[in-house]
Amino acid sequence: MDSGGFVTARDRQDESECSKRQKCSQGEEDRISNLPDFIIGHILTFLRFKDAIRTSVLSQRWIYMWTYITKLGLHDGVYQINKTTFINFVCRMLLHLNASNINEFHLILEEKYDPYIIGQLISLVSNKKIKVISLRSINECSISCYPIFKCQSLEKLELAMGHSIIQFPSFVCLSSLTALYLVAIRNPMKITCYSSNQSKELTLKFPVLRDYISCDCIWLDVKRVTIDAPLLEKVIIDRQWDYSSNVSHAEIEIRASYVTNYLYRSYVSSETTLLDAAHVAEASIYLSDDSKVNMSGQELKIFVRKLFNINNLKGLILQNLAPMEHYLADISAFGMLSNLCISYFVTIENLLCLLLKSPCLETLVLKYPIYSAKKPLKFAIVPECFLSTLKVVRFAKFAGGQQEFSFAKFVMEKSQVLESISFSCYKLRGAKMKKVKKKIFSVKRSCNIEFSDHLDT
């Protein structure tokens, strides 16, 4: 029924609820809009950059709020515009930012760009007292890092490039850098020196660096690289590409006294790494199976010496000792090594050589069937660790061969403090398994023996 010009109780109730919603909405808007510019900029940092810009349509107050953001993440594949438009867009954004410093700048490029243009972008970012720079390019994107290495506020630097040449100055000193990641994408990344320095030596000083990761990077036309990082804790050098067509003769010296975690995975190459680390607790060394080792015997001997130049090592993982089997006798002793793991391809002779250089070894793990290059086997010398420290031995892939059994028997009979030895049998079932067990249990020993019929890695 029509109420005419009269206001009913229902109308008053609807108006009251609408008024409450408007006041509530207005009150919430006021609380955010009345915040200081830098706080609003910090809030907008958690949005995608495109969404942060869209807030400019909210009101007059919000037109330029996006310029106070402190974190930029840009990807040319997201904006669906051509290369020129994208670069112009990025430049305008960087020029219009009101923040005196940008905490983070992440740039992902799928297209190929002029190196000069990328250099201009890096210069713009470096002038903003940046803390984190991450540059990723799938295609070739050769750049000069000179503007980056002038930025003393930089705390983390990631360069992930595909088939690119990165130019470093001959001397770099970044007082705030704590993490340096040099990562190749799809193809090796080449690092060179653009200085007129004829000796081609690079010195990188990072007083507070904690993490250093180098993946598939080649030091091109560089003789020596010195990384001076006294507080460095983690070092990863990973080279999975075949460098036969990209020969590097650089010597990388890492001056660091507090490294606790070290991983080296590579083909055998003339490029060597010397780690001056007295406190390395754990190290992993993986040598890829490469039959095309293009090094003389003397060069390989030097390579092996430098690779194992870690005196106070406590834990070591080794994979594929075949390329350096003739030079293991020349390496220094592991005076503090307590845990040794062989994960792939080792002869019994090489293993004994390592055991003789590990007087304090407590745990030995063999993750792959071992074999002997000679017949019959002769165990002329008992390693010192057998007499005083070796307590645990694990065969993670015991195949049950005669040579393996001979070594296991040698361990059980000669180890005076051995507490347990375990065999995870590899492809042994039924009658074969029973035969192997009977053979093992027939050995005179004073330790516990454990068997499992599955692969235990």
Examine residue 415 and state whether it is found in any structural domain, yes or no: yes
Examine residue 180 and state whether it is found in any structural domain, yes or no: no
Mean pLDDT score across all residues of the chain: 79
**pLDDT tens digit sequence for 156-210:** 999 998 888 888 888 999 999 999 999 998 788 888 887 655 668 889 999 999 9
Do 344 and 320 contact (CB within 8 A), yes or no? yes
Q: Whole domain around residue 442: which residue ranges?
A: 348-457
**pLDDT tens digit sequence for 33-78:** 777 777 777 777 777 767 777 777 777 777 777 777 778 888 887 7
Examine residue 10 and state whether it is found in any structural domain, yes or no: no
pLDDT at 103 over 80: yes
Examine residue 35 and state whether it is found in any structural domain, yes or no: no
16-35: average pLDDT: 56
Strand partners, 73: 106
146-163: average pLDDT: 90
Please name which of 231, 140, 143, 222 lies closest in space to residue 180, comparing C-alpha atoms: 231
What are the distances in angstroms from CA 24 to CA 15, 35, 60, 105, 416?
14, 17, 20, 37, 80
Examine residue 391 and state whether it is found in any structural domain, yes or no: yes
**pLDDT tens digit sequence for 208-256:** 999 999 998 888 888 889 999 999 999 998 887 655 555 567 888 888 8
Number of domains in the chain: 1
Q: In what order do the strands lie in the sheet with 272-276?
A: 171-173, 201-205, 224-228, 251-255, 272-276
362 phi and psi, to 5 degrees?
-110, -35
Examine residue 359 and state whether it is found in any structural domain, yes or no: yes
399-417: average pLDDT: 90
Examine residue 419 and state whether it is found in any structural domain, yes or no: yes
What span, in angstroms and rounded, lies between the C-alpha atoms of 35 and 61? Answer: 11
Do 178 and 131 contact (CB within 8 A), yes or no? no
Q: Report which of residues 135 and 287 the model is more confident about.
A: 135
Examine residue 386 and state whether it is found in any structural domain, yes or no: yes
The percentage of residues in the chain with a pLDDT greater than 70, rounded to a whole number, is: 79
pLDDT at 329 over 60: yes
* Non-local CB neighbours of 12 within 8 Å, separated by 6+ positions: none
